[in-house]
Amino acid sequence: MTEPGGLGDKGSFSVDISQAPGAIRELEQARAELESIRDEAQLLGQVNAGARDEVSLDAARALGQTAVGGPHAFMDALNSGIDEVDRMLEALRASFDLYESGDDAGRESFHQSQ
């Protein structure tokens, strides 16, 4: 059985509900990887220019802005990606919980009818 997962106005996805636990693990791993990359981007945003010449200082400043502080910064994209994975996880877990509760109710009903 395939259950739809909601992503609000971002789109949707479908997962074979029997594969949900594996999909949840994979999404959790993807989230952890994004967090690790975000940590590296944070460090990149604090890079030391090394030398005190204007070119090195400008390069370090530009790198910091691109990584964490400027418009369209890498950090913003990573945070958006993490938020999106969180929404996917929430939707998938909710669908799986609903599936399991329906499965439990079906088993209980079956046992009561015997």
Distance between the two ends of the chain, CA-based, in angstroms?
26
The mean of the pLDDT values for the chain is 84
66-85 pLDDT, tens digit per residue, is 999 877 899 999 999 999 99
85-111 pLDDT, tens digit per residue, is 999 999 999 999 998 888 655 555 555
Cβ contact 35:82 at 8 Å? yes
What ranges do the domains of the chain cover? 33-106
